[in-house]
Chain A
Amino acid sequence: MKQLIHTILKAGSVLVVIAVVMATGCQQKPDASQHLKPLVDKYVGVWNNGNLEGLDAIFDPHFVRHVNLSPDVEGVDGLKKVISGFRTAYPDLKLVLEDEIYSESKSAGRWSFTGTNTGPGEMPPTGKSVKIWGLGTLHYANGKITEEWVGYDRQAFMEQLGGTMTLPSGSK
């Protein structure tokens, strides 16, 4: 009888150990958005509030940004120049995240950009308002953003600013 109780107790403790292991194992597989989303939100926040120092904590020093077919932007300092350039040319800019996808070490998102071109930039200010959308992916390592890919239609962007596309003379 004693032995039976002993066996049952032993079996019970094994079950408890299994339960604990299982529960711990569960915690190691969190929803990826839980650890990546705060970084994305902070990044989008900096575009909107211009607090560039906030970028140092969330970007890897070797960060690389690829936008369309433009030359790559390298390092956090390069990124800061891009953001401050946009904020100068579009002082009222608003960047809104419209869709978000998270996996273990990558995320993707759709954003919309609105702003009025009242400040100097690559071109003299046009005074025009633009509203465009685009998509981006971010890569992460060790809790920091290491790489960004951004695509948006620069033709639409330029046309909203008053640029004009000229047809080719045409070959056959």
Chain B
Amino acid sequence: MKQLIHTIVRAVPMLLVITAGCQQQPDYSKELKPLVDKYNAAWESGNIEGLDAIFDPKFVRHSDAATSAQGLENLKRVIVGFKTSYPDIKVVSNEEIYTENRFAGRWTVTGTNTGPGELPPTGKAITIWGINIIHFENGKMVEEWDSFDNLPSMEQLGYTMTPPSGSK
């Protein structure tokens, strides 16, 4: 009898362990979305204050030649530079996927090139969309991959691409 009670009592911690293991996959967006939102807001406002709290100093952004950045300080320069060239920049998040320490998103950016940049302002409006993946470490962003087609936005700015003529 005593043994039976003993067995049952011993089974209880095991059940607790099973129950704990059974908790649904955590909702990673709770932890990561506030950081992503802050980052998108910084692009839109050009306000780089507060980025230190969400980025690792050794953060690396892989993107096109103009907006790639090594280190957080360079990222800030890119964000401020973009805001200067496109003062009315709007960032819209179209899709968000969160998993442990990683985020993927699809975004749309619109803006009018009324400020100086690498070139004198063209006064033209651009709309581009792209996809980015962000990696997190210890609750901070450490790496970003951001891809979008630069060609249409350059064409929207008045550039022309002369295609290759072929090898023959």
Verify A153–B122 contact, CB threshold 8 A: no
Number of A-B contacts (CB under 8 A): 167
CB-contacts of B131-152 with A (<8 A): 131-133, 145-152
Size range of the chain A interface in the assembly: 35 or more
Contacts of A141 in B (CB 8 A): none
Is A43 among interface residues, defined by CB-CB distance under 8 A? no
Q: Which one of A5-13, A50-58, A74-82 is at the interface?
A: A5-13
CB-contacts of B84-110 with A (<8 A): 95, 97-99, 102-104, 106
Contacts of A25 in B (CB 8 A): 22
Chain A residue nearest in CB terms to B116? A172
- Please encode chain B, from 12 to 36, with 1 for each CB lying within 8 Å of some chain A CB and 0 for all others: 1001001101101100000000000
Verify A15–B15 contact, CB threshold 8 A: yes
Size range of the chain B interface in the assembly: 35 or more
User: In the complex, A107 Cα to B106 Cα: how many Å?
Assistant: 12
Verify B158–A168 contact, CB threshold 8 A: yes
Q: Which one of B37-45, B50-58, B159-167 is at the interface?
A: B159-167
User: In the complex, A82 Cα to B1 Cα: how many Å?
Assistant: 73
With A18-B15, A133-B147, A168-B159 as contacts: A151 and B131 at CB distance below 8 Å:
yes
Is A61 among interface residues, defined by CB-CB distance under 8 A? no
B65 → A minimal CB distance (Å): 8
Chain A residue nearest in CB terms to B128? A69
Verify A123–B166 contact, CB threshold 8 A: yes
Verify B161–A124 contact, CB threshold 8 A: no
Verify A166–B160 contact, CB threshold 8 A: yes
A8, A135, A153, A170: the one contacting B133 at CB < 8 Å is A135
Verify A172–B120 contact, CB threshold 8 A: yes
With A19-B18, A151-B149, A153-B147 as contacts: A164 and B4 at CB distance below 8 Å:
no
CB-contacts of A15-29 with B (<8 A): 15, 18-19, 22-23, 25-26, 29
A103 → B minimal CB distance (Å): 5
User: In the complex, A103 Cα to B158 Cα: how many Å?
Assistant: 40
14 residue pairs of the A-B complex, CB under 8 angstroms, read A19-B18, A23-B22, A68-B148, A68-B152, A69-B152, A124-B165, A126-B166, A133-B147, A135-B146, A137-B106, A154-B151, A155-B161, A158-B161, A170-B120
Instruction: List A residues at the B interface (Cβ < 8 Å).
Output: 1, 5, 8, 11-12, 15, 18-19, 22-23, 25-26, 29, 31-32, 68-69, 99, 101-103, 106-108, 110, 123-128, 133-137, 149-156, 158, 161-172
